[in-house]
Structure 1
Amino acid sequence: MPVGRSRLAKGVAAFSVASLTAVALSATPAAAAPSTDVLLNEVYGGGGNSGATWTNDFIELANRGDQPVDLTGWSVQYHSRSATGTWQVTPLTGEIAPGQLYLIAQAQGNGGTQPLPDADVTGTIPMGGGDGTVALVSSTTALTCTASDCAGQADIVDLVGYGSAAIREGSAATGASNTQSVQRTETADSDDNAADFAAAAPTPKAANSGGEPAPECPAQPGDVRIRDIQGDAWLTPLKGDTVTDVPGVVTAVRTDGTRGFWIQDTEPDTDPATSEAVFVYTGSAPVTVRPGDAVMVTAEVTDYYQLSGGEQFPHTANLSLTELTDPVVAVCSTGNPLPEAEQITGDLIPDVYAPDAPTGNVEDLGRLDPTRSTMEFWEAREGMRVVVTDTRVVGPGNEYGEIYLTVKPDEYASERGGTVNTGYANTPTGRITVNPVDGEVPLANVGDVLSGATSGPVDYILYGGYSIAATEIGGHVDNGLSRQTATPHSADQLAVATYNVENLSPKNPADKFAELAAGIVTNLASPDIVALEEIQDNTGSTNDGVVAADQTLDLLVEAIVAAGGPAYEWRQIDPADGMDGGQPGGNIRVAFLFNPERVEFVDRSGGDATTPVAVSADSDGTAALSVSPGRIAPGDTAWDDSRKPLAGEFRFNGEKVIVVANHFNSKGGDQNADGRYQPPNRVTETQRIAQAAAVNAFVDDVLAVDPHAAVVVAGDINDYQFSPAVETLTGGDAPVLIDLITTLPETEQYTYVFNGISQVLDHILVSPALAGAEYQVVHVNAEFSDQVSDHDPQVVRLTFGPQCTETVTGRHVGPLRITEGTLCLDDAQQVGPITVGPGAGLVVTGGSVTGPIRTTGAALVEISGARVTGAAMITGTTGAVLLDGNRVTGSVMITGNSGGVTVSDNTFTGVASCSGNDPEPGNAGTPNEWNGVAFGQCRGL
């Protein structure tokens, strides 16, 4: 899944239910609630209790929309904290106007000193002061649900559980008491009560109780202008001050989410470091101004930090937004022209993304230099109107109301129109997020264009960094991006794929299974083996102790057959309940699909959630697993709260193949690349490095038994091709695995698109014996606005053993010259030189060669178990080079080979030189004996 991000779609209620014991039960996500903009805004159950100010309990609603809503026939309902009992009902009447509040008074206690303001409706329900559940319901019929079945109640519009409430959305809101209510922090609904509500002193406000008269426009503006509020640095110099009569023209209004409006000074100064605009946050109060209104604002100045769920300010990596809060707004005139939007082009934006911050925090820097870094460029324009024109899409339009564009289309450009991640220091500078104020973005794919103007104030958002809060969106030009299909594998090739199917369970709609199946059959060409990630148990995210996933896998296999694919069989190991991370209750795991008509799974009993797989020698000298399938080091702390890798032993056309399916821990928790800490701290990397070391050690064990073993390590590694974790996995300076994605051009190295950056999270790695394999990433999801998973699958096609076009046995005297095909010497005695030309192959098994060996541009060179007397020069090989178990007398030169070089268990007498080989040569864990001098890349082998 995507890293560092977790948001539910708007309008979908997701409930969870807990008993009053320590066991928490996650409920099924509900279907979409009735279409409405009315939400529960504040809940207070301490009225009339000891220490309370207010005499009554109350419930407050808010209309976040722009149309009145008739509440006749609706109700608010209350349930005690337990999962048993009945709901109490208060019917509602009348309507709630846009941007207004609606107050429902409930039972009066014996205490309190102040009566509520006039209520719109009065009920008699005695609510719990510290615990309970309130539901807004589009009928007056009492609810009957008391546990996870509430998720199926289509008439529940909104719900908040507080304290130790059994029924709640996500986690319960905290802090309710006799002196504090729980209040919605923004007029948005993430379906997590703990995130959406905070405890504060109760503030009941009746929607129909009138209000203060609109303030009159002052004759003159105050002494403070917006540029004084913004200052010339990252933080406002006026934090906590109340500023009076600040002038500006309203440029944009946001009525959903973080409610408020932007104002911009029409008389700017000439200082490029000071912004001339600011966001005015209105909170739950309605936004009554419109673009073009000239206003004067009196408000408190603050630097606001957006926080992820459970995050606290001192620890957030996010940058702040300077805002005006608790505003008093005087409208002086309407219909004024908006300040001209600044045209943003690629040549204006610095080519360095983040400034060098000696403390690690850019907010500690002094004056902004908008010409020094991209971040400073946008910070100096915070809140100001900007416009980009004819911009290419680098991140598809998504359900969160975001789309990603670039004003530097040639910067790190991918083959298909995106922007690729080439290194930690190479954050793209031309990328910009667009989050329209109305939340509507075109369903555009990577490579499409938004033609014409996209404009709005400069904003900063939690998951996308600097953005344009667009009031105008360019026209969508579809550039026809197509979903790719893999090259079909031949009869003598073994095709192994990996696919992250994104939290797959029987709770997913049938369409998802059908689309995944079509992708496996059509786009992946029905691979022989598929390593699957994110397979959930049979009840999905319901936290009920179920760990089996047979129904999930059977449904996928049935869908594949229906799509015309093979009748795959599957293997997996059920995890211990709640021990492998992922979505709570889902018991996520990896699994294998395999086509029994093409490949045999070698079952070895005994594998379970806690038994580690071991490696030993089989009767034929190949590596054998102690259990198959088996988990790699499941007791290692590297796998705490993370998916354990699964090893399986397969046979194909008589060849043994060991496949490892992986899903390393996610990047969730890393500091983001758009935040105040630069460079960002990758806190989750430590665990992935430990996980990579565990899998690498397993591969070492396999190759120690059989240096020629065919090993495929596949899955969602959750890290980049240049990361320390992947370097550890391959073996670093002594590589035992080849990361196949690095064999592609840099412009094609990506499997995932996050925040407008095409990047690598998924990998297929192979042992040296499989070097030169055919490999493809199949782009079917990540670049598209409609995607069945957020990851792209990939596939490798393996060909085993050389296809000898000529075989020499016995004694041969005279030169051998190979210009095409593959010459095999099988325990032969060759006397005379051997020359191999471009595209040809040489395989020497046993026997002896007396005379020089020279290969130039060969497709394959394998020399094993032979005695070689004479110089050996191996140059420019495009496929695998293997020298194993030989006795070589004479100089050796191995240069410029690109298909992977393994030099293992040889005895060399003479000078050896290795250079220009990419990847670097390895010894598969079996060092060589050198009776001479080894130079360059040969050193250490």
Structure 2
Amino acid sequence: MHTPKLSKLVVAVAVSLLSWQVTATCSTDFTPIQQIQGDGAQSPLAGKTLTTQGVVLGTMYPGSKQPSLLIQSLKADSNPATAEALMIADSQLAALYQPGQLVQLTGTVRELGKMTALTNITASAVCAEQQPLPKLQLQLPVKQLNDWEALEGQYLVFPQTLVVNDSYPLARYGEILLADRRLMVSTEVKKPGAEAQTFEKQQQLHEIWLDDHSVRQNPEPIPFPTGGLSADKTVRVGDEVRGVEGFLVQTKAGYRLLPTKAPAFASANPRSNTPKTKPDGALRVASFNVLNFFTGAGQTPQFPTKRGASNADELVRQQGKMIAALSAMDADIIGLLEVENNGYATDGALATIVRLLNEKLGSTVFAFVETADKPGTDQIKVALIYRIASVKPLGQPAMNMTGPFVRGSRAPLAQSFVHQGSNTELLVSVNHFKSKGSCPKLPGADNDNNDGQSCWNAARVIAAKTLASWLATQPTGQKATHQLVIGDLNAYRLEDPVTTLEQAGWQHLPGATLDKNGAVHWSYVYKGRSGSLDHALATKTLAEKLVQFEHWHINADEPAVLDYNTEHKSKNQLKNLYAPTPFRSSDHDPLVMDFKF
């Protein structure tokens, strides 16, 4: 749980630690919990001092400095919009009372953070023992988002198998996002605009965050999967979770389920140590965003690098994962993205990648395509490396450093090759369009217009049009009917930049990408939604030669804490959460595709 989100609640709970007394009998004259909660976001009785009654469900955040009780009415009312449970903000009572006790309390109603609570308890009594806990069976999706407000504080049991959809805050706050299925980026499966908006609104009914029932930051051990996370014991997006039950609370970040028992995790999206086997005689092309691989060469001091490793240890760890991934791809041509734009010297980023990859493979297997020393104005660039025995460069490498590629979108790189096994020529262009973040401050076409495409969509469309026109000129000096565009277009499958390229005659690989539940392919997970920012598009003649295509899911589905970074990790975690394997070598999954001529 995010401690900052609870700061107001914790402060308010501390204020409530006044003296209380246990009375001998329970009055029949009390205010039902439902009347205290009301049918809105806040209590209609806020500020009132009153007496209420309920069964103790348990304690919120029992290991914190200021735990609170949760009680629930013995009898539900007829209004589905009113919550049946209430927070009792008194740490002394939280330590005294046990689940199943029917208690009566007198105090003042307040809104603490996002929850209605009874504070400043002046009287309390146990009315009965061993009452059954009122547990509500709940199936996702809920009918409407307001349903969660009416369930605030209650004990919920999810009888269905749930699916992990996000683990980004797992290591920092002990939270994972669950839903009844994998949730997709709206514009991955629906057209931008009204269709995408409606789809996303519906998806929000399918999810709930599972918290570790703690206010600690950087918990150790990391709570999920049950038994703790490690480099070898992961929890991936797509994995299944059963036996989920606990208390529903509301924080500034939204609704969270605090588990009362350990849920059962099951692998439903297992790791794959390598991509699918390359068919005999096929040409394999891959695209890989290496997530800001910076060596710091040429800067003083070398560390921290401008975007990547903060120190020498992190660089070694980053290299270990990246090279494990690259060497396992078995590719003949690899497009690289987010490589430090620091030239081609032996200590530069691109030369370092090729040197380490060749060392891993035991001989000089790969070489890089060399262009301008520092193309474009960005700190990162795209690059191409190739297997010397499989392909041979033809003509001249070309980069477009005009128009949208001066600033924003990185300058695209194109190189023609001949596949020596089939004597077939093709052109490969690697690309990295402008990201969706850092929205412009002034109004205009590049602002977020709420159609699902976020910011800078117009800039990405211009980049797509410029790229298509440029490649039509055969910029490498070699006439190639087989052409391939790969890279991170920072646009999901049905967004304008991708469809702009399709309208220009490029065919999206691998063709049909949708099934009845959404997209078959994804390369990125963001805020609990899966989608493809990374794409491959080919001319018709080359698309016809495709025999195999894969998003190799080694990164997007993995917890971010399994990456190379050392911040916010204990000595044990630095050891146990890291392995020089492909998994979480980046935040993007590589694309791997095979062509047979």
**Range into which the TM-score falls when normalised by the shorter chain:** 0.5 to 0.7
Which amino acid is 2:410 matched to? Answer: K
Does structure 1 conserve the Cα–Cα contact (< 8 Å) formed by 2:484 and 2:538? yes
- Alignment map for 1:12-161 (pairs within 5 Å): none
Tell me by how many angstroms 1:658 deviates: 3.9
Tell me by how many angstroms 1:644 deviates: 1.8
Residue-by-residue CA offset, 1:705-754 (whole Å, 9 max, x unaligned): 699644332223333212234323x24xx332222154345352222344
Residue 433 (structure 1) aligned with residue 209 (structure 2) = yes
1:322 equivalent among 115, 122, 125: 115
Label 1:700 to 1:768 Cα distance change in 2 as closer, same or farther (>3 A).
Answer: farther
Label 1:458 to 1:603 Cα distance change in 2 as closer, same or farther (>3 A).
Answer: farther
Residue-by-residue CA offset, 1:528-579 (whole Å, 9 max, x unaligned): 22222334578xxxxxxx99995444443344234327334265878799x7
Residue-by-residue CA offset, 1:572-606 (whole Å, 9 max, x unaligned): 878799x75xxxxxx444333333443445696xx
Does structure 1 conserve the Cα–Cα contact (< 8 Å) formed by 2:272 and 2:553? yes
2:593 equivalent among 777, 792, 796: 796
Which structure's residues are more often helix, by fraction? 2
Q: State how far apart, in whole Å, the 1-side matches of 2:111 and 2:526 are.
A: 30
Does structure 1 conserve the Cα–Cα contact (< 8 Å) formed by 2:404 and 2:462? no
Tell me by how many angstroms 1:446 deviates: 4.4
1:405 equivalent among 178, 184, 190: 178
Other-structure match for 1:378: 148
Tell me by how many angstroms 1:691 deviates: 1.2
2:416 equivalent among 650, 662, 676: 650
Q: State how far apart, in whole Å, the 1-side matches of 2:433 and 2:456 are.
A: 12
Tell me by how many angstroms 1:659 deviates: 0.5
Does structure 1 conserve the Cα–Cα contact (< 8 Å) formed by 2:115 and 2:250? no
Other-structure match for 2:164: 394
Q: State how far apart, in whole Å, the 2-side matches of 1:548 and 1:246 are.
A: 74
Other-structure match for 1:476: 265
Q: State how far apart, in whole Å, the 2-side matches of 1:549 and 1:727 are.
A: 40
- Alignment map for 1:255-334 (pairs within 5 Å): 260-261=67-68, 263-267=70-74, 268-279=76-87, 292=99, 294=103, 296=105, 298-299=107-108, 301-302=110-111, 304=113, 321-324=114-117, 328=121, 332-333=125-126
Residue 749 (structure 1) aligned with residue 521 (structure 2) = yes
Does structure 1 conserve the Cα–Cα contact (< 8 Å) formed by 2:249 and 2:257? yes
How many pairs are equivalent?
A: 500
- Alignment map for 1:167-178 (pairs within 5 Å): none
Tell me by how many angstroms 1:243 deviates: 5.2
Other-structure match for 2:319: 513
Does structure 1 conserve the Cα–Cα contact (< 8 Å) formed by 2:339 and 2:349? yes
Q: State how far apart, in whole Å, the 2-side matches of 1:289 and 1:632 are.
A: 71
Does structure 1 conserve the Cα–Cα contact (< 8 Å) formed by 2:525 and 2:557? yes
Other-structure match for 1:307: none
User: Which consecutive residues of structure 2, in runs of 5 or more, have no partner in the other structure?
Assistant: 191-195, 226-233, 296-308, 441-447, 563-582
SS in 1 for 2:326: helix
Identity %: 19
Which amino acid is 1:750 matched to? Answer: W
1:778 equivalent among 548, 552, 558: 552
Other-structure match for 1:454: 244
Does structure 2 conserve the Cα–Cα contact (< 8 Å) formed by 1:574 and 1:589? no
Residue-by-residue CA offset, 1:865-886 (whole Å, 9 max, x unaligned): xxxxxxxxxxxxxxxxxxxxxx
Q: State how far apart, in whole Å, the 1-side matches of 2:488 and 2:592 are.
A: 13
Tell me by how many angstroms 1:481 deviates: 1.7
Residue 339 (structure 1) aligned with residue 133 (structure 2) = yes
- Scaled by the length of structure 1, the TM-score of the pair is 0.45
SS in 1 for 2:58: strand
Label 1:479 to 1:705 Cα distance change in 2 as closer, same or farther (>3 A).
Answer: closer
Label 1:420 to 1:726 Cα distance change in 2 as closer, same or farther (>3 A).
Answer: closer
Which amino acid is 1:647 matched to? Answer: L
Other-structure match for 2:432: 662
Other-structure match for 2:572: none
Q: State how far apart, in whole Å, the 1-side matches of 2:374 and 2:106 are.
A: 58
Tell me by how many angstroms 1:517 deviates: 1.9
Which amino acid is 1:265 matched to? Answer: Q
Tell me by how many angstroms 1:383 deviates: 2.5
Which amino acid is 2:84 matched to? Answer: E
Other-structure match for 1:598: 390
User: Which consecutive residues of structure 1, in runs of 5 or more, have no partner in the other structure?
Assistant: 1-6, 11-63, 65-183, 189-199, 305-320, 351-372, 539-545, 581-586, 605-624, 671-678, 801-941
Q: State how far apart, in whole Å, the 2-side matches of 1:572 and 1:229 are.
A: 70
Tell me by how many angstroms 1:253 deviates: 1.6
Structure showing greater Rg: 1
Q: State how far apart, in whole Å, the 2-side matches of 1:516 and 1:472 are.
A: 38
Does structure 2 conserve the Cα–Cα contact (< 8 Å) formed by 1:702 and 1:709? no
Which amino acid is 2:293 matched to? Answer: L
Label 1:702 to 1:781 Cα distance change in 2 as closer, same or farther (>3 A).
Answer: closer
Label 1:705 to 1:213 Cα distance change in 2 as closer, same or farther (>3 A).
Answer: closer
- Scaled by the length of structure 2, the TM-score of the pair is 0.68
Tell me by how many angstroms 1:699 deviates: 0.9
Other-structure match for 2:35: 228
Label 1:277 to 1:794 Cα distance change in 2 as closer, same or farther (>3 A).
Answer: same
SS in 2 for 1:380: helix
SS in 1 for 2:432: strand
Which amino acid is 2:354 matched to? Answer: V
Q: State how far apart, in whole Å, the 1-side matches of 2:449 and 2:473 are.
A: 39
Tell me by how many angstroms 1:493 deviates: 4.4
SS in 1 for 2:189: coil
SS in 1 for 2:366: coil
Label 1:652 to 1:336 Cα distance change in 2 as closer, same or farther (>3 A).
Answer: farther
Residue 735 (structure 1) aligned with residue 511 (structure 2) = no
Q: State how far apart, in whole Å, the 1-side matches of 2:493 and 2:412 are.
A: 21
Which amino acid is 2:543 matched to? Answer: A
2:275 equivalent among 481, 486, 500: 486
SS in 1 for 2:147: helix
Other-structure match for 2:368: 569
Other-structure match for 2:332: 528
Q: State how far apart, in whole Å, the 2-side matches of 1:496 and 1:776 are.
A: 11
Q: State how far apart, in whole Å, the 2-side matches of 1:560 and 1:431 are.
A: 41
Residue-by-residue CA offset, 1:906-938 (whole Å, 9 max, x unaligned): xxxxxxxxxxxxxxxxxxxxxxxxxxxxxxxxx
Q: State how far apart, in whole Å, the 1-side matches of 2:135 and 2:20 are.
A: 29
Does structure 2 conserve the Cα–Cα contact (< 8 Å) formed by 1:741 and 1:749? no
Tell me by how many angstroms 1:657 deviates: 0.8
Residue-by-residue CA offset, 1:135-157 (whole Å, 9 max, x unaligned): xxxxxxxxxxxxxxxxxxxxxxx
- Alignment map for 1:538-687 (pairs within 5 Å): 551-564=348-361, 566-569=365-368, 587-601=379-393, 628-631=398-401, 633-634=403-404, 639=408, 643-653=409-419, 655-666=425-436, 681=450, 685-687=454-456
Residue-by-residue CA offset, 1:189-233 (whole Å, 9 max, x unaligned): xxxxxxxxxxx9xx9x9xxxx997522357659965443344324
Tell me by how many angstroms 1:698 deviates: 2.1
Which structure's residues are more often strand, by fraction? 1
Which amino acid is 1:454 matched to? Answer: V
Q: State how far apart, in whole Å, the 2-side matches of 1:686 and 1:717 are.
A: 13
Does structure 1 conserve the Cα–Cα contact (< 8 Å) formed by 2:212 and 2:259? yes
Q: State how far apart, in whole Å, the 2-side matches of 1:226 and 1:576 are.
A: 66
Tell me by how many angstroms 1:490 deviates: 6.1
Does structure 1 conserve the Cα–Cα contact (< 8 Å) formed by 2:434 and 2:460? yes
Residue-by-residue CA offset, 1:160-204 (whole Å, 9 max, x unaligned): xxxxxxxxxxxxxxxxxxxxxxxx77569xxxxxxxxxxx9xx9x
Label 1:473 to 1:574 Cα distance change in 2 as closer, same or farther (>3 A).
Answer: farther
Label 1:257 to 1:740 Cα distance change in 2 as closer, same or farther (>3 A).
Answer: farther
Residue 713 (structure 1) aligned with residue 496 (structure 2) = no
1:723 equivalent among 489, 495, 512: 495
Does structure 2 conserve the Cα–Cα contact (< 8 Å) formed by 1:258 and 1:281? no
Which amino acid is 1:433 matched to? Answer: W
SS in 2 for 1:469: strand
